[in-house]
Amino acid sequence: MAGKTVLITGASGAVGTACAQVLLDQGARVALTDRVAPPPHLLAHPDVDFQAADVTDRASVDVAFEAALRRFGRIDAAVLAAGVEGPVALVEEISEADIDRVLAVNVKGCLFSMQACLRDMKPRGAGSIVALSSISGVVGSATLGAYTLSKHAVVGLVRSAALEAGRHGVRVNALCPGPIDSDMMRRLDKALSERDPQRAQGQADAAKALPLQRYVTALEVARMAAFLCSDDSGSCHGGTYMVDGGFTAR
């Protein structure tokens, strides 16, 4: 990744921050966007540019993308990591406000960011886009219907974009993490266990439900994202890449 520039949305979250650090360690320059600033050690790095942006606002996304282009000249790859977990609720309990919010961030936000990248990458004939989906993009998740819907949509968007962009030299892939050791997962563990005290045989979290018996780390997800951004993954296109501790092997 030396000398390449990577755009990262959701850069202040656990995965976004880890991606930024891994890519910087590999010699990349990173353009970070999020509603709130990432950690100070990233902002202080000479190869980091940060622009505040709300991925649900197409104009805000475009402004941040253009700022990154002015700073670095081009965007070689992108990790689209902005996302929210949504409500813990049965399908019939999901409110219109909740589904609108989840789809706005997880689907429209991914679409707007991908559109900005494609407009720049396709004319240049090169680029790699990695969109964060989830294991919930390939399997169902009870009481997480809004989140599951949105992450399935991300996989569908990636597949359609891959069919369109491949002939232009642009690769598009979905990265599907399992439960990540993060604040988001701790919120979900608490809410899911309150709803079903016998979830995961009454354990405080569901880590033991994974074949590897532990949660995925943000660093592990970031390393896969960096691989998919790099030329080493040159024939990886239109795929769904699992980093899930074996969860989907069932």
Residue 219 CB neighbour total at 10 angstroms: 16
Cβ-in-10-Å burial (0-12, 13-18, 19+) of 88 comes to buried
Residue 215 bears catalytic tag? no
Contact 81, 134 (CB under 8 A): no
Contact 115, 227 (CB under 8 A): no
Q: Please tell me which residue in 50, 147, 241, 247 is annotated as part of the active site.
A: 147
Angle at 70 between CA 65 and CA 75, to 5 degrees: 55
Query: Of 212, 136, 137, 218, which is closest to residue 181 (Cα–Cα)?
Result: 218
The one-letter amino acid at 167: R
Catalytic residues: 147
